[in-house]
């Protein structure tokens, strides 16, 4: 990362560069990549294959999970628009 930052500064003439994820889909992807790496490091990738996503989630949420090889299970919303906790319990089994 330091070498990349050095080259970017050299090529652009900028005094500094940032390589951290900013927000939105980029931050989401980095977070999911970190989660997947942690699951792999613990040797649990064969059994931890699903991601639960609220039906109200932005489309990048299930897309990111699928991109990283997870299956995606949608969690319904209750009448009040919030995540249905009973739905989470049913899906988590």
> Per-residue pLDDT tens for 56-91?
888 889 999 999 999 999 999 888 989 988 888 888
34 belongs to a structural domain: yes
Distance between CA atoms of 77 and 84, rounded to whole angstroms? 5
> Per-residue pLDDT tens for 11-51?
999 999 888 877 888 889 989 999 999 999 999 999 999 99
Number of other residues whose CB lies within 10 A of the CB of residue 62: 19
Q: What is the pTM of this model?
A: 0.71
Measured in residues, the chain has a length of 93
For 86, the domain range is 21-91
Q: What is the pLDDT of residue 25?
A: 87
The count of structural domains within the chain is: 1
66 belongs to a structural domain: yes
């Amino acid at each position: 990362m330091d070498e990349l930052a050095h080259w970017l500064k050299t090529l652009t003439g900028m005094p500094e560069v940032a390589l951290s994820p900013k927000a939105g889909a980029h931050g989401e992807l980095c977070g999911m990549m970190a989660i997947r790496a942690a699951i792999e490091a613990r040797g649990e990738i064969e059994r931890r294959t699903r991601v639960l996503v609220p039906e109200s989630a932005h489309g990048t949420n299930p897309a990111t999970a699928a991109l990283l090889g997870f299956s995606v299970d949608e969690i319904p919303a209750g009448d009040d628009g919030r995540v249905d906790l009973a739905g989470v319990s049913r899906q988590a089994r």
